[in-house]
Each structure stands twice: as structure tokens, then as C-alpha cells.
Chain A
């Protein structure tokens, strides 16, 4: 069931929260040995919270659509009294004494936390092939990666273990697993969702958001997560909206930009075909499709990499002499960050402002951009290079090159399923909107979802 289906069923008394929670636990029990999506399952606590939700709903206490619905949190989200590892040996026994703001908000909305999902070590990579907690596998093909770093969240939602799992996104870590696992992934505007209590990877690029099966479920989750939090210095005071799109949506009048440069260069033909199919669907719903030239995304990616390498290494500096505690790929990134010049970091943050202003001029022409979320379907576990359009490319750079720049700009972006590639692996469409235009983004996504069936595709069992 989706979140909204579960909410309706709970109010119609055709299902109880305990039954929903039990069903989630049964799915985890059945599939987690194969997929390794969950690091921690909190069965007793979840069932107790579900029983309380049933009592509350029976008494007429209704906290909204999340009341009594189970979910999972990426293991970077602090959970009071529950181990929070960040996928790292350094924190393998870390038990926080407070909840992250996102966990707090979901608890206030009556949601039932069911466990913590696995991730790429320290959320610093895209394979989720974790040397300390095991490889997370893609439900569509267990020989393939689920993407990352929120790989456990992507796998858990795709395998119908939970209707929503929280993710964090520093350079694509929500949208990449969403694309590779065939789920919806929403990275809101920088500052829209509090990062308080989330183990940081990068001070100025981290974003929190949900992975779900439908766009409306992402919207109903954002309704809970969005809002100012004085404990997060980057949190925006801009008022929140009702993000849940209505029914019978039209895209009439929407100026839809399709990049002529960068985004459709060096991508798999099936992914291109799937994304362009969604452009045609949007056009049939009334959108005005406009080819546009976007600012230099390769430059934006270089800026993003300098910022990420420097900030992540600064953050982890106290631990880096204990080299045996890190996986080789992650350690290599921390070493790179320590070797960069301070002037490069400062200039990267200066360029970020210049590029934001360039991108803002693009929003005078169009209301949103349609791009692929990833140029390829999920790579195989252990695969280091991929051949795209006749050239070999590092899997990590290929997976991040269409999404990383959006973090640098802080813009909201949504990945939704748009088909399958030749190997039967999901393809993702990325929709990008101007800052704080999540409502527009979700309305466009919901209109496409209503007109297509891709979100209903399920992995083979």
C-alpha cells in the first residue's frame, strides 16, 4: 500500500496500524537476507507505537495521513536510544540521545518508525557496497547496486518493505537510488527540510528528503518534513505550502525546458528514449516544450566536487589517522579533500554564487527542466567502469554527473520512474524547478504519474 492508500484504509477501519506494521516487518523478514536494505529493525517499539496509533484513531484523535503508517530512516538520522551507524565502523556502536528533526516531525505526525536503512559508508558514494555492513542489493536484480548513498532506502521502498524511507542527498544520494530502484525520490530546496540531528557529510550540500512509491506520497511526506527549524542554521523561514497535488491535473501553460546541451550527451539510448517519452506525455497534458541551453553543468560538477571533497575531509579530519576504519574508496576521497588548496575551496564557493545567478536567468524562460536522473541503468556490483556511447567512464562519475550540480545550486529536484532499460532495470526522469517551487515540481510529477503506469512496475520476486 502507498501512504495515502494506507491512510484511507486506516480511516475506513479495513486495516489497523498494527496490521500494516506487521506486514512491513514480514516483508523485511522475507527479503532482508537477500537485499540487506535494513541495518536495524525495531520490531517491538514499532508494534507498540502502532498499537498506540490504533487506539488514538479509534478515539478520534487523527494526526493526519501519516498517523499509524510505517516508515524507515536512513542510518544517518539520529534516533534516540537506537543505534545510528552512518554505515561506518567509527559509529558502529553510536546510540544518540535525541531524534533528528525529520524523525521528530514524523513522530509528531503519528508515523511508525520501523527501522534504519543501510547506506554507502558515511553516505560518501553511490554503490552502497558497504565493506563494514555488507553489500546492499537492487530488488530488480540482486547482482546490481541499488545506487547510493541512500541505497537501503531505495531497496526498501522498491521491495515494498515500507511505503517511504528517508534519504539524504549531497550529490544525488536520493535521486540516484530512486532512479536505479524505480522509486520516486525528492530532494527539496536547500533549507526547506531541517538537517538537525542528521550526521553530516557536507555542511553546504546535504539535503534531506523522502523516497516513496508515488509522487503524492512524497508530497504528503514533505508536508510533514518541511518548515523552519532554528537548530539548523541553514533552515529557511519561508512559509510552507500544502504540497499535495489535487486530482485531474493539467500541465497547460507549463513551460517545460529540455536541455540541448550536456544532459542528453553520453547516455544510454533506452534511458534517453524513456525520458523523451515523458517529455511527450507532458506535452500531451498541455505543457509547452522548449529546447534550452543550460549553463555549464560540467563546471558546476567540478565546483561541487571541490566543495564536497574539502568540506567532508574537514569534517572527518579527527578520524582520518585511523585509516583501517575506512573502506578504500571512501578513504581515497577523504585523502583528496585534504590535499586541495584552501583557495580552491573558497573560489568554489564564490563560483557557486555566480552559477546560481546564471541558472536564475534560465528560470525566466522555463518553469522546470526535464533531464535523465542517471545516464545508465543500475550498474552491477563491483563494476568500476561503464561503456556509454562508445566511451568508458567511471561508474561513480557517470552516476553523479546529471544530479550533482543541482545540489550545488540548492534547487528542488524530483526523480520519478519512466521505464526500463534493455536489461530490465529502471530509468529515472529528473525534474528540476526553481528554488522553493516544490509544489510545482510535485504537481508536474503527479500529472505525469496519473498519465502513465511506470510507478506501478514492481521488481520480480
Chain B
């Protein structure tokens, strides 16, 4: 029973690790000079932000444009 539980927990952990973003690989691929210890320190913040942010994107209406030059009212008065 205990062994079975341990096995399933290990499998869940492995799946979770696969689903989680590998920030180290991203940093390497982009040629970013971020030391491994610093990457380890920021990974939990990035994981949490990604988990909070990514689900929101599913609700964006397709035609919505980015507000890169943003105006606080809908009518552009400039």
C-alpha cells in the first residue's frame, strides 16, 4: 500500500516536472548568462507567475489587440 502510494507520488512528480517549464534550458537557448544558483532562486516565482497567468489567456477574444500604447479611456483623445 505504502509502496504503491510512493510509486504514484513519484509518477505524479515526474509528470509535474515534465509539464513545468525548464528555465535553465530556456536561459541556455537564449544565451543568457544567468548563473545556475540564480536560476534556481527565481524558478519558483516564474512557475507561480506562469501558473497564474497562462490560464487567463484562454479567455482573450480573438480580435483583441495588445494595448502596447495604452490609453486609460476607450476614446483616444490625443
What are the nearest 5 A-B pairs in CB distance? A410-B72, A349-B66, A435-B72, A302-B52, A302-B53
Closest chain-A Cβ to B56's Cβ sits at a distance in Å of 5
A residues within 8 A CB of B50?
344
Chain B's closest residue to A332 (CB) is: B42
Contact A351 B72 (CB under 8 A): no
Q: Mark B57-78, 1 if CB is under 8 A from A, else 0.
A: 1011100111111111110011
Interface residues of B (CB under 8 A from A): 23, 26-27, 30, 32-34, 38-39, 41-42, 45-46, 49-50, 52-54, 56-57, 59-61, 64-74, 77-78
Contact B46 A339 (CB under 8 A): yes
- Subset of 15 A-B contacts with CB under 8 Å: A190-B72, A191-B72, A233-B69, A303-B56, A323-B33, A335-B32, A335-B42, A344-B53, A347-B60, A350-B60, A350-B64, A354-B60, A356-B72, A356-B74, A410-B71
B residues within 8 A CB of A284?
none
Contact B46 A336 (CB under 8 A): yes
B residues within 8 A CB of A436?
72-73
Closest chain-B Cβ to A69's Cβ sits at a distance in Å of 30
The distance in angstroms between the C-alpha atoms of A190 and B49, with both chains bound, is 25
- Find residues 332-346 in chain A having any chain B CB closer than 8 Å to their own CB: 332, 335-336, 338-340, 344, 346
Contact A303 B53 (CB under 8 A): yes
Chain A's closest residue to B49 (CB) is: A305
Of B42, B54, B67, B74, which is within 8 A of A352 by CB? Answer: B67
Closest chain-A Cβ to B11's Cβ sits at a distance in Å of 28
Contact A237 B77 (CB under 8 A): yes
Closest chain-A Cβ to B20's Cβ sits at a distance in Å of 13
Of B42, B54, B57, B64, which is within 8 A of A336 by CB? Answer: B42
Of B33, B41, B57, B74, which is within 8 A of A351 by CB? Answer: B57
Report if A24 contacts B (CB, 8 A).
no
- Find residues 276-310 in chain A having any chain B CB closer than 8 Å to their own CB: 298-299, 302-303, 305-306, 309
Report if A234 contacts B (CB, 8 A).
yes
The distance in angstroms between the C-alpha atoms of A9 and B57, with both chains bound, is 57
B residues within 8 A CB of A189?
72
A residues within 8 A CB of B69?
204, 233-234
Contact A435 B42 (CB under 8 A): no
Contact B56 A302 (CB under 8 A): yes
Report if A456 contacts B (CB, 8 A).
no
Contact B77 A236 (CB under 8 A): yes
Q: Which of B23, B69, B78 is packed against the most chain A CB atoms within 10 Å? A: B78
Report if A353 contacts B (CB, 8 A).
yes
- Find residues 299-332 in chain A having any chain B CB closer than 8 Å to their own CB: 299, 302-303, 305-306, 309, 321, 323, 331-332
Known: A298-B52, A346-B66, A350-B64. A339 touches B74 (CB 8 A): no
The distance in angstroms between the C-alpha atoms of A235 and B72, with both chains bound, is 11
- Beyond contacts A336-B42, A339-B46, A350-B67: 6 other A-B pairs, Cβ-Cβ < 8 A, are A335-B32, A339-B42, A344-B54, A346-B66, A347-B56, A354-B59
The distance in angstroms between the C-alpha atoms of A53 and B70, with both chains bound, is 39
Chain B's closest residue to A192 (CB) is: B72
Report if A409 contacts B (CB, 8 A).
yes
Known: A339-B46, A360-B74. A306 touches B67 (CB 8 A): no
